[in-house]
Structure 1
Amino acid sequence: MIHFVGAGPGAPDLITLRGARLLAEAGLVVYAGSLVNPQLLEGTPPGCVVMDSARMTLEDVVEALQSAHDRGIDAVRLHTGDPALYGAIREQMDQLDARGIPYDVTPGVSSLFGAAAALGAELTLPGVTQSLIVTRAEGRTPVPEAERLVGLAAHGCTLALFLSAGLLDRVEADLAAAGLEPDTPAAIVYRATWPDQQVHRCTASTLARTARQAGITRTALVLVGRFLGEGFDRSLLYDPAFSHGYRTAHAAPPCRKGPAEAARDE
């Protein structure tokens, strides 16, 4: 069996229990060497063949997986974060399907959630935003016309930009064209959960300058939105005056309004 496994965002103890077990049983591991923490490979058994895919083509990877299958060896294709996000796994799975080789997928913790944890942030705040847009700036890899950043940013949702740390001048221009205020909170999280993690808070208009000052050009997640600000509403789920299937509403002493509620009353 071929196992596609999400390695998590970087910290070796953020791989799932299932992912760690599959590594411990693998006879072959093909891992994304430029992004996956090599400490994870310490969990492979003696005799396991380990291959770095950084210099491999799709054809090289599939041939290695085919060879393991032909020899009756379980193989792990180890991807960074969760392989469903910018993991390039569909093309690999299509090749395996064409060859009749079985596989499964073990999800992982995305660097998006590692970055949110580093920021101490909630991506969806009541009264601020209830939607998250995961996208990337257009670079060498094109973006569909309907998904250009200038259009997506106009929604005012939380924005999470992968693979965009080297394109922040363009990102700033697109955010401004979308109508975002220059002081819209933003952050750059470099190598979330790794020992050398960096967190840089800034604004929508200072992303490029912040990255230049920190020397960041890659391996960083960019987050933009008012969810990084101070104001939001209290959750109704835990409001004593709100009924749901597990709790009946009851009278409660007045509760201080959150900044978002207070602003609407002014």
Structure 2
Amino acid sequence: MPASLTIVGAGPGADDLITVRAARRIAAADIVLYTPAAAPLSWLRTQTKDEAELIDLGVPAGEDVLDVLRRAVRDKLAVVRLHPGDPAAWPELRAQRETCTRLGIDVEVVPGVSQESAVAASLGVALVEPAHADTVVVSGQDLTRVKDLATKSSTLAVHAPAARADDLVAALTAGGLPEDTPVALAYQGTDREMTVVRTTLRDLPATVKQHKVWRSALFLIGTAVRPSRTRVAPRAPEPVQRAKEPEPKPVRTTTARRTTKRRKTAKR
């Protein structure tokens, strides 16, 4: 078989939230490219075949991805690249596909449960609601863009290192958000389970320090995070008034009684 690359969404972290298709691709891979944010090495060793090569992309001195792909072409290997959550939120997805096209590598993208969906589910809220919330997902690497989007959407989902919480708050307040804007901080612990903490923009830096979160985190900011009792319900549609039709008049029916004349019998 020719070389292949499968870009797999590893989900929000919980082992039972990875898709069946993703698990199958991981189990069949010759090489798995990963970062600790996508999946820990200890878990991957239980999911891959014994001879599979596991490459941590977070190691600076590690093998370059392009070199791995060229080796896959030469040796006709199946490569899996893990991405946290859903690959659709990965800014480099298009560039990775174009690179594989140039190398003649077949590419498959396996969707995963997004981190935004997982956080919303844990809070019991919806990311999109009529008259309540619409959500924009952005990368926190460019805080200027975050500032520009601060008041353009009722809810922002920002992926950024938790260590930049102070900078994130400064950008959002400079963009026009009040300090009491609700925030959900979501991060992955050592057990791969996602922890979600409610706070506000004002208290976000202190919350990050309290929970000792420094690496990648998801910040859900705005209307979708508010408790449901504080939301203004959309106006119910007015009931349609239908013209009342006149009731039909009752029709009286009579049944003709049939009479039979009796013959008179003569007395003898």
Shorter-chain TM-score: what band?
0.7 to 0.9
Provide the rounded CA distance (Å) in 1 between the counterparts of 2:97 and 2:185: 32
Kindly provide the CA deviation profile for residues 184-204 of structure 1, in whole angstroms up to 9, marking residues without a partner as x: 211211218955543221112
Alpha-carbon contact 2:135-2:153 (below 8 Å) kept: no
Displacement after TM superposition at 1:226 (Å): 2.1
Change (3 A) 1:192 1:234: farther
Paired AA for residue 210 in structure 1: T
SS of the residue aligned with 1:108? coil
Tell me, which stretches of 5 or more residues in structure 2 are unaligned? 241-268
Provide the rounded CA distance (Å) in 2 between the counterparts of 1:128 and 1:186: 16
Runs of 4+ with deviation above 6 angstroms = none
Match for residue 149 of structure 2 among 142, 147, 152: 152
Q: Is it true that 1:17 corresponds to 2:24 in the alignment?
A: no
Provide the rounded CA distance (Å) in 1 between the counterparts of 2:44 and 2:118: 17
Could you state the TM-score of these two structures normalised by the residue count of structure 2? 0.75
Match for residue 182 of structure 2 among 170, 181, 185: 185
Please say which structure displays the higher CA radius of gyration.
2
Change (3 A) 1:188 1:212: same
Match for residue 77 of structure 2 among 65, 73, 76: 73
Alpha-carbon contact 1:9-1:192 (below 8 Å) kept: no
In the alignment, which residue of structure 2 is the partner of 1:47? 51
Paired AA for residue 159 in structure 1: L
SS of the residue aligned with 1:29? strand
In the alignment, which residue of structure 1 is the partner of 2:104? 100
Change (3 A) 1:54 1:87: farther
In the alignment, which residue of structure 2 is the partner of 1:6? 9
Displacement after TM superposition at 1:69 (Å): 2.9
Aligned residues between the structures? 236
Paired AA for residue 90 in structure 2: Y
Displacement after TM superposition at 1:55 (Å): 1.7
Alpha-carbon contact 2:15-2:192 (below 8 Å) kept: no
Displacement after TM superposition at 1:10 (Å): 1.0
Alpha-carbon contact 1:34-1:54 (below 8 Å) kept: no
Tell me, which stretches of 5 or more residues in structure 1 are unaligned? 244-248, 250-266
Provide the rounded CA distance (Å) in 1 between the counterparts of 2:29 and 2:139: 33
Displacement after TM superposition at 1:98 (Å): 1.9
In the alignment, which residue of structure 2 is the partner of 1:28? 31
Match for residue 204 of structure 1 among 201, 222, 238: 201
In the alignment, which residue of structure 1 is the partner of 2:259? none
SS of the residue aligned with 1:166? helix
Aligned-residue Cα RMSD (Å) equals 3.1
Kindly provide the CA deviation profile for residues 142-179 of structure 1, in whole angstroms up to 9, marking residues without a partner as x: 46x6xx22221112411111014222222222222233
Q: Is it true that 1:86 corresponds to 2:90 in the alignment?
A: yes
Change (3 A) 1:64 1:113: same
Paired AA for residue 136 in structure 1: S
In percent, how many aligned pairs have the same letter? 34
Displacement after TM superposition at 1:233 (Å): 5.8
Displacement after TM superposition at 1:235 (Å): 8.0
Alpha-carbon contact 1:118-1:193 (below 8 Å) kept: no
Alpha-carbon contact 1:186-1:202 (below 8 Å) kept: yes
